C-alpha cells in the first residue's frame, strides 16, 4: 500500500538524542529521514558555578526553564531534590515540551503558556506582569536571546542566569548529505533552531550552499523563518508548534501541495 510521503527524503537536523521520534514518524508515512544532526548538547567543563547556583534555589521566587535540554542538564548537575521541597519557589516552563520534561524529572510546573513556546509567550502570562521585587533565575544554555530577562527587569524583577549546557557542532560525516545535494535528491529540510540552521552551512561543503536555498525548508518559528529568508532560502514554512507531529504534518502538506510558502 502506498504511503503519503512515498520515499520523500527529509533532512532531520535535530540533535541526535532528540531526532528518533521524528524520524520514526516520517518512516511510518513512507518517508526517508536523512539523519544529520547539526547541533549537539554538551555539559560544561566547569561545574562549580552551576553547583553554586543550584545551592541558591531558595533565594528566588521564580525558576524559568528555557528548554527541555535545560531541564535534562540541570538534573545532570543536581545532587538532590531541593527544588521539590521549596514551596516558596515557582517553576515556569517556556513551552509544553519543557513542561513535560520537568514533570518527567519529578519537578512541579507552576506556569506554562497555553499558546506559544517562546519568551514572548511566557511574558504574556498574567503571573509575569507585576514583577516588582521578584527574583527570577533563568535556566538555559550558554548564550541565547535576552528578551525574557530584559523585559522582566523592565517590570521590576531581579533576573539572574544559570547556564547549564552548551551548544556545539557535532562530529558528523557530511559526505552522504553532500552527495544527495549534488544529485538533487534531497526533498525537504527541517530545522528547529537558529543555531542548527547556522551550523548546517558550516558543516556542508560551500559548493552546495546555493542548492540548499532551493530546497523547501520547514522551521518551527517565525524568528527562524525571518533569519532563513535573510540567509537566502526561497521556500520556508512554519509549523503550528515545535512538536514532531506538527513537523510531520507540515511535511505532508508540502507533499500534497498544501503550502503557499509565504516568506
Per-residue confidence (pLDDT) for residue 174, from 0 to 100: 94
Rounded percentage of the chain residues whose pLDDT exceeds 90: 72
Helix (H, G, I), strand (E, B) or coil at 55: coil
pLDDT band at 161 (very low <50, low <70, confident <90, very high): very high
Mean pLDDT score, 231-235: 93
**Where along the chain do the CATH 3.40.50.10090 domains lie?**
9-39+170-255, 42-167
Q: Which tens digit of pLDDT belongs to each residue from 65-89?
A: 999 999 988 776 665 545 555 567 8
**CA proximity to 75, closest of 164, 203, 171, 153:** 164
Per-residue confidence (pLDDT) for residue 84, from 0 to 100: 54
Give the integer Cα–Cα distance in Å for 89 and 59: 8
CATH number of 9-39+170-255: 3.40.50.10090
How high is the mean pLDDT of the chain? 90
Rounded to a whole number of angstroms, the distance between the first and last alpha carbons of the chain is: 36
Give the integer Cα–Cα distance in Å for 189 and 194: 14
Per-residue confidence (pLDDT) for residue 1, from 0 to 100: 41
DSSP alpha helix (H) spans, 55-135: 68-77, 82-85, 96-104, 119-123
Mean pLDDT score, 46-51: 84
Question: Which class would CATH give 42-167?
Answer: alpha beta
DSSP H or E run through 93: strand 90-93
Q: Which tens digit of pLDDT belongs to each residue from 90-107?
A: 999 999 989 999 998 888
Mean pLDDT score, 6-23: 95
Q: Which tens digit of pLDDT belongs to each residue from 194-225?
A: 999 999 999 999 999 999 999 999 999 999 99
CA distances in angstroms from 38 to 221, 232, 248, listed in the order given = 18, 19, 19
Q: Which tens digit of pLDDT belongs to each residue from 124-154?
A: 999 999 999 999 999 999 988 899 999 999 9
Per-residue confidence (pLDDT) for residue 55, from 0 to 100: 80
Give the integer Cα–Cα distance in Å for 129 and 167: 31
Q: Is residue 116 over pLDDT 90? A: no
Neighbouring C-beta atoms of residue 157, cutoff 10 Å = 19
**β pairing state of 62-65 and 135-141:** parallel
Amino acid at each position: 500500500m502506498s504511503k503519503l510521503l512515498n520515499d520523500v527524503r527529509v533532512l532531520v537536523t535535530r540533535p541526535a538524542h532528540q531526532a528518533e521520534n521524528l524520524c520514526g514518524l516520517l518512516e511510518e508515512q513512507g518517508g526517508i529521514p536523512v539523519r544529520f544532526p547539526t547541533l549537539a548538547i554538551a555539559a560544561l567543563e566547569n561545574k562549580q558555578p552551576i553547583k553554586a547556583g543550584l545551592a541558591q534555589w531558595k533565594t528566588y521566587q521564580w525558576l524559568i526553564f528555557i528548554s527541555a535540554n535545560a531541564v535534562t542538564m540541570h538534573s545532570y548537575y543536581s545532587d538532590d531534590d531541593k527544588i521539590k521541597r521549596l514551596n516558596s519557589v515557582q517553576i515556569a516552563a517556556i513551552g509544553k515540551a519543557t513542561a513535560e520534561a520537568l514533570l518527567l524529572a519529578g519537578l512541579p510546573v507552576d506556569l506554562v503558556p497555553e499558546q506559544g513556546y517562546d519568551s514572548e509567550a511566557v511574558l504574556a502570562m498574567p503571573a509575569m506582569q507585576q514583577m516588582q521585587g521578584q527574583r527570577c533565575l533563568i535556566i538555559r544554555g550558554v548564550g541565547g536571546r535576552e528578551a525574557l530577562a530584559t523585559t522582566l527587569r523592565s517590570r521590576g524583577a531581579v533576573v539572574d542566569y544559570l547556564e547549564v549546557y552548551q551548544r556545539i557542532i557535532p562530529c558528523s560525516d557530511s559526505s552522504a548529505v553532500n552527495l544527495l545535494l549534488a544529485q538533487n535528491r534531497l526533498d525537504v529540510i527541517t530545522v528547529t533552531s537558529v543555531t542548527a540552521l547556522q551550523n548546517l552551512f558550516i558543516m556542508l561543503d560551500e559548493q552546495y550552499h546555493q542548492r540548499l536555498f532551493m530546497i523547501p525548508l520547514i522551521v518551527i518559528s517565525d524568528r527562524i523563518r525571518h533569519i532563513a529568508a535573510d540567509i537566502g532560502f526561497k521556500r520556508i514554512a512554519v509549523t503550528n508548534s515545535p512538536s514532531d507531529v506538527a513537523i510531520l504534518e507540515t511535511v505532508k502538506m508540502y507533499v500534497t501541495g498544501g503550502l503557499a510558502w509565504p516568506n
